Amino acid sequence: MTLSAMQRGLGIGAVLVAALLILWAIPTFVSTPSNVGNVILSPLFWPYSIAGLTGLVGLGLVASTFRADGPDDSLPANEPIDDPIPGLIRLAGIAVIMVLTMVLIDRIGMVWASMLAFAATAFLVRTRHPRLALVSAVAVPLVLYVFFAHVAGVAVPQGELVRLP
Contacts of 77 (CB under 8 A, 6+ apart): 1, 2, 3, 5, 6
DSSP state at residue 69: T
User: Binders of other proteins among 104-133, rule CB under 8 A?
Assistant: 105-106, 110, 114, 117-119, 121-122, 124-129, 132-133
User: Binders of other proteins among 13-52, rule CB under 8 A?
Assistant: 14, 21, 25, 29-33, 36, 38, 40-41, 43, 46-47, 50-51
Closest to other proteins by CB, 33 vs 165, is 33
Which of 94, 100, 158, 159 is close enough to bind other proteins by CB under 8 A?
A: 94
- How many residues bind to other proteins according to rule CB under 8 A? 76
Q: Phi then psi for 112, rounded to 5 degrees? A: -65, -40
C-alpha separations of 106 from 43, 150, 158 in Å = 36, 20, 8
CB of 162 to other proteins, least distance (A): 18
User: Binders of other proteins among 61-90, rule CB under 8 A?
Assistant: 61, 64, 67-69, 71, 77-78, 81, 87, 90
Contacts of 80 (CB under 8 A, 6+ apart): none
CB of 151 to other proteins, least distance (A): 6
Q: What is the rounded CA–CA span in Å between residue 62 and residue 16?
A: 12
